[in-house]
Amino acid sequence: MLVTVAAAIALGSAYGPRGVCAALIIRAVATFPVLVYLLEKTAGITPLEYIKAALPSIVCGIVAAAVCAALLKALTDIFPVHHAIRLVVCAVFSTMAYVAVMMLFWGKNWRVLREYFKVK
């Protein structure tokens, strides 16, 4: 897997940061079936179990990305030069969207995450 990440970065770097992102996404999609197959053979995790476990993070990530994309579009007109302000606003609001969706639809997962990161 490390080799495929390095190859994706090397190939995508010719097209800048967006090229690297696109190459990593293509790599993730291409290696997903292999990962699921290996998990099933080594750990006994079925593809359905894997998808059910990953679904909350996938849905929350998509919502957070949509919020960030909408904010970037709106904030570019308001703060055309201030990249740091746009970055902070997008980070805060997309994180809030992620957490809100997780709490709303997968409350049990949210409680598990809170317990895991609880300071003792």
Closest C-alpha among 25, 19, 28 to residue 10: 19
* Predicted TM-score of the model (pTM): 0.69
Per-state percent for the chain, helix, strand, coil, to nearest 5:
90, 0, 10
CA 41 and chain centroid, separation = 26
Same domain, residue pair 77 and 36: no
Same domain, residue pair 66 and 23: no
Same domain, residue pair 74 and 29: no
pLDDT tens track for 26-81 = 999 999 999 889 989 999 989 899 888 889 999 999 999 999 989 888 877 777 76
Provide the sign of the torsion angle of the four alpha carbons 77, 82, 84, 89, taken in this order: negative
Same domain, residue pair 67 and 107: yes
Same domain, residue pair 13 and 51: no
By residue range, what is the domain housing residue 109?
46-120
Same domain, residue pair 53 and 86: yes
Same domain, residue pair 28 and 79: no
- pLDDT recorded at residue 119: 59
Same domain, residue pair 2 and 38: yes
Please tell me the total count of domains within the chain: 2
